[in-house]
Amino acid sequence: MISDTINQEIKKAMLAKDQAQLRGLRAIKAALLLAKTEKGSSEEITEEAELKILQKLIKQRRESADIYKSQNREDLYQVEEEEIAVINQFLPKQLDREEVASIIADVIKQSGATSVKDMGKVMGLANKALAGKADGKLIAEIVKEKLA
Is the pLDDT reported for residue 41 higher than 70? no
Q: Is the pLDDT of residue 38 over 70?
A: yes
- Residue 103, pLDDT above cutoff 80: yes
Q: Which residue, among 111, 97, 95, 96, has the nearest Cα to 147 in the 3D structure?
A: 111
Per-residue pLDDT at 135: 80
Q: What is the pLDDT of residue 130?
A: 83
What is the C-alpha separation between 76 and 91, in angstroms, rounded? 23
Mean pLDDT (the chain) is 88
Question: How many C-beta neighbours within 10 Å does residue 17 have?
Answer: 8
Asked if 52 and 4 count as a contact pair (C-beta separation under 8 A), the reply is: no
Taken in order 23, 25, 26, 27, is the CA torsion positive or negative? positive
pLDDT of 27 > 80? The answer is yes
Higher pLDDT, 67 or 122: 67
Window from 2-6, 42-46, 80-84, 135-139 with minimum mean pLDDT = 42-46
String of DSSP letters for 51-82? HHHHHHHHHHHHHHHHHHHHTT-HHHHHHHHH
Any idea what DSSP says for residue 91?
A: S
Report which residue type is found at 19.
Answer: Q
Residue 138, pLDDT above cutoff 90: no
Contact between 76 and 116 (Cβ < 8 Å): no
